[in-house]
Amino acid sequence: MFTFEKKEATKELFIAVSGFMKEEDGQSFLAEYNKHVKSIVPATYTLVIDSTNLAASKPDMLPVLEGCFKLYMSNGFKKIIMINPSSAISKMQMKKLAASINYTGIFVDKLEEAVR
């Protein structure tokens, strides 16, 4: 469902999310996310979220996704890079949601574009 990797050498917090996210997954994700963010200075890190294998979200999960986007922005990362889902529906959901909240992260289509 999700994995976290702190890359100290490149100052990246790398998160991979996949599959269908359910409410209980969202709570586990947030707990793990907060644990990792507390262990770094976000202003010196780039947050990379790889959602390539993320499935389309059910409508009741969109507020959770919106909350995650807002949380990413509120933590003060140097840069936020979101790798688009390969699913056209998921990609559309994320772009629409991002536009509705003035998301400041960057969307890319491939991991290679995100990691420099």
Task: Please state, in angstroms and rounded to a whole number, the distance separating the CA atoms of residues 93 and 59.
Answer: 10
Quick check: 79 and 53 in contact, CB under 8 A?
no
Task: Please state, in angstroms and rounded to a whole number, the distance separating the CA atoms of residues 3 and 75.
Answer: 19
> 7 — phi, psi (to 5°)?
-105, 90
By three-state DSSP, how is residue 100 classified?
helix
pTM, two decimals, is 0.91
Domain positions in the chain = 2-114
Mean pLDDT on 1-9: 94
Q: What proportion of the chain, given as a percentage, has pLDDT over 90?
A: 69
DSSP at 58: P
Mean pLDDT on 70-91: 94
Class of domain 2-114: alpha beta
Non-local (6+) Cβ contacts of 65 within 8 A are: 21, 57, 93, 94, 97
pLDDT tens by residue, 23-61: 778 788 989 999 999 999 999 999 999 999 998 888 888
Q: Over 70: is that where the pLDDT of 116 sits?
A: no
Environment class of 95 (CB within 10 Å of its CB; exposed 0-12, middle 13-18, buried 19+): middle
Residue 64: per-residue pLDDT:
84
Q: Over 70: is that where the pLDDT of 1 sits?
A: yes
Please compute Rg for the chain using Cα positions: 13
